[in-house]
Structure formats: structure tokens, C-alpha cells
């Protein structure tokens, strides 16, 4: 049995202001048959960024039946990817992938900028591996 990885663009070159969240992702990622799951990301840190960094939060539908659920203000993320904005990342574009929990059926995302300065060109992809 061959495994197939598909990539879906979640956020496309967005800007997230300092100390704020992005909007909730418009698309829902269906992990029904997933055997593995990761997010890929690319973003540009401001030259004045600090170690506060950025987090990609993944929210899961608690009922596992509603693809149209909303990630509420006080919902607890099912998983998160933290990205450091200090050191050699400061003022540069960084890109990588991060393996995430794939136990949820439907997941959505928000990006949280913990820093006082904006991040730009933030793109996030869902990378789902299925049989």
C-alpha cells in the first residue's frame, strides 16, 4: 500500500499584527483517514522581532462530526507549532514543517503573533498523509 501526501494552502501571504491573532482559517482540514499530519509554513520576521515569536494553533472539532464548527475565543488548541523570532531569524524569511497531532477529524487553524511587531508573508499549508 502506497501512502499519498497532499498539501492544502491554509493561509496565503497574510500579515499578522503585533500581539494579535489571525482570523480562523476559512478551510477545514479533514483528517478522517490520515495516518500522519504536518503543517508547512513560511513567514517573514521584522528586523525588530524578539524571542516572543509566533504560534500556529490547531483547533479540533470536539464532536468529530461538524466540518463547519467555529474555533471560539476560549477554545483550547489541540496542538501548536512555536516559531522563534529571535537570533538569526530576526529580519528574515523562515520556512519549515512541523508534525502535528492527527487524532481530530476536522481541524482549523489560527496564527498568533506574540511579538509587538507584525509578521508578514505568512503562509501555512496542511500536509496530510493518507493510504
Q: If pLDDT is split at 50, 70 and 90, which confidence band does 73 have? A: confident
CATH number for the domain harbouring residue 122: 2.60.120.1200
* Residues 39 and 81 sit within 8 Å (Cβ to Cβ): yes
Q: Are strands 4-16 and 29-30 parallel, antiparallel or unpaired?
A: unpaired
Once rounded to an integer, what is the mean pLDDT over residues 76-80?
Answer: 96
Helix (H, G, I), strand (E, B) or coil at 59: strand
Q: Which residues of 71-108 are buried (b: 16+ CB within 10 A; e: fewer)?
A: beeebebbbbbebbbeeebbeeebeeebebebebbbbb
Q: If pLDDT is split at 50, 70 and 90, which confidence band does 86 have? A: confident
Q: Is a pLDDT exceeding 80 seen at residue 5?
A: yes
User: In this predicted structure, what is the pLDDT of residue 1?
Assistant: 66
Phi, psi of 29 (to 5 degrees): -100, 125
* Residues 26 and 123 sit within 8 Å (Cβ to Cβ): no
What DSSP state is assigned to residue 28? P
How many other CB atoms are there within 10 angstroms of residue 67's CB atom?
Answer: 12
Task: Retrieve residue 108's grid coordinates.
Answer: 482549523
Total count of domains within the chain: 1
User: Which residue range is the domain that position 78 belongs to?
Assistant: 4-130
Amino acid at each position: 500500500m502506497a501512502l499519498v501526501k497532499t498539501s492544502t494552502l491554509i493561509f496565503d501571504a497574510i500579515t499578522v499584527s503585533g500581539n494579535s491573532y489571525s482570523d480562523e482559517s476559512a478551510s477545514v482540514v479533514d483528517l478522517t483517514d490520515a495516518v500522519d499530519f504536518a503543517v508547512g509554513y513560511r513567514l517573514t520576521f521584522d528586523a525588530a522581532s524578539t524571542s516572543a515569536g509566533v504560534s500556529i494553533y490547531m483547533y479540533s472539532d470536539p464532536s468529530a462530526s461538524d466540518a463547519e464548527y467555529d474555533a471560539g475565543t476560549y477554545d483550547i488548541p489541540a496542538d501548536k507549532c512555536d516559531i522563534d523570532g529571535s537570533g538569526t531569524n530576526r529580519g528574515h524569511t523562515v520556512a519549515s514543517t512541523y508534525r502535528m497531532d492527527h487524532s481530530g477529524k476536522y481541524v482549523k487553524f489560527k496564527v498568533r503573533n506574540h511579538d509587538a511587531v507584525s509578521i508578514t508573508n505568512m503562509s501555512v499549508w496542511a500536509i496530510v498523509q493518507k493510504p
